[in-house]
């Protein structure tokens, strides 16, 4: 056989021994898990998570389904890595966090699926989740799918910094609470994060049995993607359908310099995209909100007497509202775009700009009363005006615009 430059060299196939496999990833089966989707593997998965994190190796559960009865948790780990894991919760109760990654740094998730269970009455969206990540920085989480029933926040991300979340999917979740008077389920909940990007999120079919003014609609009292207390968070190309509120920037802590870029909300019981209470310098650009019951896009003022931030100086750029008011939910002023006065200050929100936006009602029986609506009073000195710039409305039943604009 010739040797030297240009010679063809035949390499024998590499035989990978079981010991080498164990040295490159951690398999839950090797630590006592059954992976049959029925047997409680909680202790084995917790053990495998801890071993993988301490060894600096990925946890790889393959395509097997691991049933767990309780909480899986990992705290203060550095660079924990889940290569592949599928979980099924056997004991869904209030306060259950099927997978809780707490104060970890540089979390990496390549593929994760969580079934939160089948108890439609269980849960509390402020404390119950399928995946809950809290704290830490530089996370890279992708290809996560969470589904199942209960009054949950199916994915919750709290107090993280400088992180990327890509291709998170929440789907097919139901709750049972006919007396619910406020939201009881959230798809993806982002709270108090800084410099986070959520890209290509999908939320679909969050439903229940609540009612509004005597009318029962399946998707009432649910929120697709919720933001509270964040700074510099971007929601890119989100697709949200069949929920009550599609993308909701809300809460008293304030969302500052946050963006909704591209994407679509569809079949939302009340609103497509909402900037509520305390959104400051936020931007919604190139988003389409189709079939929202009350308003496709909303900026609303403070609902509390004292807030650290109050909704102002936000832009809606080249957004499109289609068929607002489609479900005839007894709301008096269905609008494509709305600025709504706060409960405690009739001069807020201020500095809301709709730029190059379109409001369209293409239904045979039109339900969009106004293309652009505002009930905010005349602006006082020091308040920025609310503006319509190059905006159009087609198919409104009453008027293209209502209220005070400059």
Nearest Cα residue to 102 out of 142, 129, 132, 80: 132
Do residues 326 and 353 make contact, with C-beta atoms less than 8 angstroms apart? no
pLDDT for the residue numbered 23: 60
Spatial distance between the Cα atoms of 189 and 273, rounded to a whole number of angstroms: 15
Can you tell me which residue has the tokens 């919760």?
A: 89
pTM: 0.93
pLDDT for the residue numbered 343: 78
Do residues 46 and 73 make contact, with C-beta atoms less than 8 angstroms apart? yes
Do residues 152 and 173 make contact, with C-beta atoms less than 8 angstroms apart? yes
pLDDT for the residue numbered 252: 81
pLDDT in tens, the chain (406 residues): 333 333 333 333 333 334 444 469 999 999 999 999 999 999 999 999 999 999 999 999 999 999 999 999 999 999 999 999 999 999 999 999 999 999 999 999 999 999 999 999 999 999 999 999 999 999 999 999 999 999 999 999 999 999 999 999 999 999 999 999 999 999 999 999 999 999 999 999 999 999 887 788 889 999 999 999 999 999 999 999 999 999 999 988 889 999 999 999 999 999 999 999 889 999 999 999 999 999 999 999 887 777 878 899 999 999 999 999 999 988 999 999 999 998 777 888 999 999 999 999 999 999 999 999 999 987 778 889 999 999 999 999 999 999 988 7
pLDDT for the residue numbered 2: 35
pLDDT for the residue numbered 59: 98
pLDDT for the residue numbered 405: 87
- C-alpha count within 13 angstroms, C-beta hemisphere, residue 220: 21
Spatial distance between the Cα atoms of 124 and 107, rounded to a whole number of angstroms: 26
Spatial distance between the Cα atoms of 89 and 99, rounded to a whole number of angstroms: 10
């Amino acid at each position: 056989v010739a040797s030297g430059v240009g010679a063809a060299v035949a390499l024998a196939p590499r035989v990978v021994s079981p010991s080498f496999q164990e040295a490159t990833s951690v398999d839950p089966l090797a630590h006592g898990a059954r992976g049959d989707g029925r047997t409680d593997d909680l202790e084995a998965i917790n053990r495998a998570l801890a071993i993988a994190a301490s060894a600096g190796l990925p946890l790889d559960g393959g395509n097997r389904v691991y049933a767990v009865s309780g909480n899986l948790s990992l705290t203060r780990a550095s660079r924990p890595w889940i290569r592949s894991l599928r979980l099924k919760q056997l004991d869904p109760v209030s306060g259950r966090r099927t997978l809780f990654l707490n104060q970890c740094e540089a979390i990496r998730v390549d593929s994760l699926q969580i079934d939160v269970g089948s108890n439609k009455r269980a849960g509390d969206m402020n404390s119950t989740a399928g995946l809950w990540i809290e704290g830490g920085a530089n996370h890279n989480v992708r290809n996560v799918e969470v589904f199942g029933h209960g009054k949950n926040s199916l994915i919750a991300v709290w107090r993280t910094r400088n992180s990327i979340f890509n291709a998170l999917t929440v789907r097919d979740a139901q709750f049972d609470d006919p007396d619910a008077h406020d939201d009881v389920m959230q798809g993806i909940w982002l709270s108090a994060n800084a410099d986070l990007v959520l890209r290509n999120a999908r939320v679909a079919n969050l439903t229940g049995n609540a009612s509004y003014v005597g009318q029962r609609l399946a998707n009432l009292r649910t929120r697709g993607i919720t933001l509270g207390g964040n700074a510099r968070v971007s929601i890119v190309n989100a697709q949200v359908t069949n929920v009550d509120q599609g993308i909701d920037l809300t809460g008293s802590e304030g969302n500052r310099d946050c963006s909704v870029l591209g994407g679509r909300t569809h079949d939302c019981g009340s609103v497509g995209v909402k900037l509520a209470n305390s959104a400051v310098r936020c931007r919604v650009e190139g988003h389409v909100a189709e079939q929202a019951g009350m308003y496709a896009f909303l900026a609303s003022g403070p609902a509390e007497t004292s807030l650290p931030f109050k909704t102002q100086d936000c832009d809606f750029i080249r957004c499109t509202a289609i068929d607002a008011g489609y479900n005839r939910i007894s709301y008096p002023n269905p609008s494509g775009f709305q600025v709504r006065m706060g409960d405690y200050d009739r001069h807020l929100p201020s500095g809301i700009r709709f730029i190059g936006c379109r409001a369209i009602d293409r239904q045979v029986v039109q339900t969009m009363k106004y293309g652009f609506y505002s009930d905010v009073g005349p602006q006082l000195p020091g308040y920025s005006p609310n503006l319509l710039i190059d905006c159009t409305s087609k198919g409104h039943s009453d008027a293209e615009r209502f209220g005070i604009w400059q």
